[in-house]
Chain A
């Protein structure tokens, strides 16, 4: 599998590039961490205290040394210590990650569950009323920002049902699945709406392309019934662009949905990063961003595996 092998080999290269990018762009953020952490009180510190704190967090060293230390730490699973939380970065990230992962999965289930059938239906009913309806809804879905959908949902729930979603702290699924679902379902719908719209559009376009391919004509010529032409012959070929799009979207969702987390007051990865940037918590920002990019690259790798599973030309190498 030369294609996959090549992807696997470039993976660490991109990861090192990403880590460099992250590390040095963080250093360009103005202001220092100690001032940011202690606010106005930092003015009360003596230079000696300041020095001690800097040494404790390792930010007194030259930048390259800091990078080297950080990288060797990363290799051993140590992302450093958060200045503001006073705890290991990895621990904080891993606390927030289940929510982000679950939200991303839920949104993708919604998007694929609605988008693929809707797209296939629209393609097979091309230019008929059902197709036009699907296209209009998908177009609106793609044109509506997440915060508009989210705020509308909150407005409807609170004004008409007197229900305010997601107050209080996050309940993990293994503690109380129902409460967990109640917290996550509306944010997931918010994210899934636009996601489903894109999936619908790309499924429809790809299905239309495939339906005019020669091998679909062959299937019809040998008397394959209509439904089987669509699901058995056309769909496996039409799924590749859908997988690409879903993979990219899912990868991004694993980085946290900053805006939706903000609206629904969810303690996810996105908000963690946003807060860390605001607090100039170098170690935490670095950790978050690296973790997010790493997730994205892993998802991309999975997408490549999915291609290979779907398309024997990729799996076995095209002529």
Chain B
């Protein structure tokens, strides 16, 4: 509650929060089919229509309503982004926590494996996984999670190494507190703040990666609507129907912007040291 209030008071955090709220609403509507038109329905007579009162954002080559497809696309992107970041957070936290806490060989093996994953550009790693499993929603989730798990592992391991040396952990040891108690109350509880910030920023990146994958035709498969795919389809039509490029482009950009603004505001609030330090 205190944090929500602080976000509302934060000049850019407020904008980010508003964008995310609107997108969440659009995503839910889009996912459950509360759209102006059926996103898959082809109005043959109304192909490539510019924006009008009946088609707010115009129609595509098959006469499908762009606005409805965007809403459904947001729903699809959000599901993949949240699921993949959730998975990456879970795995990354476990790996980072255990590696940082136990150190030694376990740390070496865990973190060197993470380094190996990090040696591949994000899209390439995702490509490899998609090549193995075949494209689809679940694959996108796994592929994006694979990209971000090492990052979360690092984000968690760093603070664990510092927390481990903090006096309150030493104090807990002098009381004879169990490892489970120390890990849950002294470690995890203090990791919540950096993790929240990272999760928000990762959501922005996940949206970006998802859009990229479906732009390459490796994410969501047609005819299902997806933001990246719509951009890719608009490429050859940009001269006749620039709205097909503009609306999905703006939609993706604004969504990512929302999470970036929100994440930066969270960092300002949760980490007083970086007050105003992140643009």
Decide if A14 touches B279 in the complex (CB within 8 Å): no
Kindly list chain B residues whose C-beta atoms are within 8 Å of the C-beta of A262: 216
Chain B interface, DSSP helix/strand/loop, else mixed: helix
Partner of B120, one of A17, A274, A293: A293
Judge whether A292 and B245 touch: CB under 8 Å.
no
Which A residues are CB-close (under 8 A) to B276? 126-127, 208
Q: Do the beta carbons of A139 and B253 come within 8 Å of each other?
A: no
Q: Is residue B269 contacting chain A, with contact meaning CB distance below 8 A?
A: no
Taking a contact as CB atoms closer than 8 A, the residue among B115, B123, B257 that contacts A14 in the complex is B115
Count of A-B contacts with CB under 8 A?
Answer: 131
User: What residues on B are CB-neighbors of A14 within 8 Å?
Assistant: 112, 115-116, 119
Q: Among B211, B216, B279, which residue has its beta carbon within 8 angstroms of that of A134?
A: B279
Instruction: State whether B249 touches A152 (Cβ < 8 A).
Output: yes
* Inter-chain contacts of A10 with B (CB < 8 A): 112
| Interface size in chain B (residues, C-beta < 8 A) | 45
Chain A: minimal CB distance from B209 (Å): 9
Tell me whether A277 is interfacial, beta carbon within 8 Å.
Answer: yes
Chain A residues near B208: list those with CB within 8 A: 145
Highest count of chain B CB atoms <10 Å: which of A152, A200, A255, A263: A255
B127 lies within 8 A of A277 (CB):
yes
Q: Quick check: is B124 within 8 A (CB to CB) of the other chain?
A: yes
> A145 to B249, alpha carbons, bound, how many Å?
8
CB distance from B51 to the nearest CB of A (A): 17
A76 within 8 Å of B by Cβ?
A: no
Shortest distance in angstroms between B156's beta carbon and chain A's nearest beta carbon?
19
Interface check A122, CB cutoff 8 A: yes
User: Whole-angstrom distance from the CB of B242 to the nearest CB of chain A?
Assistant: 7
Given contacts A18-B116, A155-B238, are A143 and B124 in contact (CB under 8 A)? no
Q: Does B277 contact A (CB under 8 A)?
A: yes
With a cutoff of 8 Å between Cβ atoms, the chain A residues found around residue B113 in the complex are 17
14 extra A-B contacts, CB within 8 A, seeds A201-B279, A259-B212: A14-B116, A18-B119, A26-B128, A30-B132, A126-B276, A138-B279, A139-B12, A139-B261, A143-B260, A147-B215, A151-B238, A252-B122, A274-B216, A285-B131
